[in-house]
Amino acid sequence: MAALFILAPFLLLLILNLPFKFLRRGLAFWLLTGLLLAQVLSSALHQRLLAYIHPGSLGLLLSFRLSLDTLASVMLFTIGIVALVALLVAKATMATESHKFNFINLLLISLTGMNAAVLATDIFSLYVFIEVTALSVFVLMAIEKNKFAIEGTFKYLVLSMIASIFMLTAVALFLLVCPDLSFPGIKAAFSTHSNPALLNFAVGLFLCGLFIKSGAVPFHGWVPDAYSESQAAVSVLLAGIITKVSGVYVLLRLFHSVFVASPNFQNVIMFVGASSIVLAALAAFGQGHIKRMLAYSSISQVGYIILALGCGTPLAYLGAVWHFFNHAIFKSLLFVNSASLEKKFGSSDMNIITGMGSQLPVTSTTSLIGLLSTAGIPPFSGFWSKLLIIIALFLAGKVAYAVVALLTGVLTLAYFLFLERKVFFTCSEIVLQDKGGVPLGIKLCEVILCAITIIVGLGFPFILSSLHYTWR
């Protein structure tokens, strides 16, 4: 039942906060691990279904419909993997049991919000669950009370509030002009309403809010600080999935099957996507901190998804969804690599950490594979999704955008090879204090994410055939 993806993490959150000390110390990690593994397996083996949920007496006032389609299953699968990786990284890197338990609680809240947003079929419920996720993010970013992390949290809070105002105003306008706030109701209004200008204005407001949530250019100012100053596990969660579900997934869902986007909207979406690809890649060159470089890389890779969405063809949409999954995996891998460096040397500053490949063979190897996938080098997973996007752009006659997407891959490869060479393979005379070995949990995450990147890349033809059969 689709509702279990929402109810299970919520009920576990309640259970873990019952006044039993052994739950806080002994079972919280293992219960959440089991829940996330169950989500990964069940979403991978999904069946198409629709379910109604009436939560107790609230059902008299509110009922909302949940849909578990192929796109939702891909999202739930991705959420489960990244959340599990973040949990393992938190167990390995957080200093106290109290911090770990607080992280588990906040992760359960964000998991409930993300799962519900993915399954929602009306725009008001979607907005509410995005905000539930955002509230947990504000606390997660400042969980260790670091001054710079709190500064990054404040930037994200301000911009997120602006995005929320745009989105809630848009929801109010939809309520005025649509028969209801369900996705089919909004879609029907585009063909039946006599005042399309008001509908288009609402779509524009909602689009601006989603661009802010996605961290797309020119609304990206919060992303580098949020990703680089957060605790290691929080960075993995933020970069890997939370901002993608809160912004990018909603774009994929609404602009493919709900909003009837005019050519002007498509041009705006493609321009924002191309700007994000190029400007963020150029900005990454000037970064001396690994996590800030990865943050700008995330903005650039999100640009590929937005660009494909603006193209509007079925092939471009497939490439966008595929790149969503690939980006979640290889970007989580690169942030786990950064966590490995922070755990061993206490820093991820490239001016301090140089020539560490021999001390961290697993990290250096998986980092190389992750960056090659990000740059779109075959046979890794990132190559195929970028190839689909570029081919779709060429076939749609968007040759200039296709060339931009292709050439920016060279820029991505350049700055990531610079990172790899400096951090892992440069001869260095700097002697760093070794703060201890890399925990097994981090190594396990590196190996698993790297294996997914390789297997998905090598098995792409079979996966593509399966997706074609499922979506046709």
Average pLDDT over the chain reads 85
The residues with which 66 forms a beta bridge, in sequence order, are: 51, 120
Enter the tokens of residue 276.
């994000």
- pLDDT tens profile 71-115: 999 999 999 999 999 999 999 888 788 888 889 999 999 999 999
Q: Residue 22's pLDDT is what?
A: 60
Q: Residue 60's pLDDT is what?
A: 35
Q: Residue 19's pLDDT is what?
A: 75
What percent of the chain shows pLDDT beyond 90?
Answer: 47
Domain edges within the chain: 272-472
Query: Are 347 and 434 spatial neighbours (Cβ–Cβ below 8 Å)?
Result: no
Does the structure show a pLDDT above 90 at 275? yes
Buried b (16+ CB within 10 A) or exposed e, 353-376: bbbbbeebebbbbbbbbbbbbbbb
Does the structure show a pLDDT above 80 at 436? no
Tell me which residue of 245, 264, 253 sits closest to 302, measured CA to CA.
245
Does the structure show a pLDDT above 50 at 62? no
For residue 430, name the pLDDT band (cuts at 50, 70, 90). Answer: low
Q: How far apart are CA 39 and CA 29, in angstroms?
A: 15
Range of lowest pLDDT (63-67, 206-210, 276-280, 442-446): 63-67
For residue 182, name the pLDDT band (cuts at 50, 70, 90). Answer: confident
Query: Are 173 and 202 spatial neighbours (Cβ–Cβ below 8 Å)?
Result: yes
For residue 212, name the pLDDT band (cuts at 50, 70, 90). Answer: very high
Section 236-258 average pLDDT: 90
Tell me which residue of 126, 159, 133, 110 sits closest to 254, measured CA to CA.
126
- pLDDT tens profile 329-358: 999 999 999 998 888 777 777 877 776 666
SS3 of residue 64 by DSSP: strand
Q: Where are the alpha helices (DSSP H) in 94-146?
A: 97-119, 123-141
Tell me which residue of 381, 346, 239, 244 sits closest to 305, measured CA to CA.
244
For residue 301, name the pLDDT band (cuts at 50, 70, 90). Answer: very high
Q: How far apart are CA 428 and CA 413, in angstroms?
A: 23
Section 425-453 average pLDDT: 78
Q: Residue 261's pLDDT is what?
A: 72
Q: Residue 79's pLDDT is what?
A: 95
